[in-house]
Structure 1
Amino acid sequence: MRDESLDRPWAFDWDVIHFNVGLHDLKSLSARKLGKKNGVQVSSLGVYQKKVGEIAKYMKAPAPDAKLIIAMTTPVPDGEPGRVAGDAQKDTQAARQILLGHPGIPINDLYRSIKLTQTKWWTAPGNVHFNKSG
């Protein structure tokens, strides 16, 4: 929807909106640089939950007939320099609690589907980004 070539992106009917929120909320920054040692996490668990609920409401307003689907945050691997392994699972659980209030939004559980095979999809060990196949 940020595609500048689109003329009024909300002016037409959306069939499906697949959205996610997570990995950027989990990162820790210090002087705008990634680093969990001296950094501060972008969003606390409470702020993350609030964002999930707000985004769900926001997406429903301009596209009430669209099928909304949320993608759960993918796992953070051990050794990731700006995020803590295990935090994505906490965010996923927190999002599920909020989504109980939005029963019409199905979950695309990328966390669960990637967790057991994540090393296959990494660009490098300890990196949250995926290779071309991923």
Structure 2
Amino acid sequence: MGWLDRIFGKEKAAAAPAAPATTPSAPTSAPTQTAASAPETIPPERVGLNGEYDQSGLAKRVAQAFDRDPNVGDIETLWVAQTGSTVVLKGTAPNEQELQTMVAIARTINGATDVDTSQVTIGG
């Protein structure tokens, strides 16, 4: 199944192109001028899989990185979340070495400032 599918659902894992930033509407001049004069920036921890704003963007990108790394299997007893720019791992890890591998991967993801493992137990 994989980290991303298991935690965030199959529809979130699809590599579909990002939705357009604006959609046409009847009064186009005022909104276009406003958007052009004040470009929006997305905080790094809120960037989604396709560059869009996503409240859980950092956690999803970490889960995706776990899926792509051949040294990390899908550990069904461990979950990825985020609190602001902190990656939060929760649950049970098989051993300390695998946990440290996941922490190292999570730290490399753009927008991650810390990795919290206080909710992880070892063993099982």
The structure richer in strand per residue is: 2
TM-score (norm 1): 0.28
The structure richer in helix per residue is: 2
Higher Cα Rg: structure 1 or 2?
Answer: 2
TM-score (norm 2): 0.29
Per chain length, whose mean CA-contact separation is higher, i.e. which structure has more relative contact order (CA < 8 Å, sep 6+)?
1
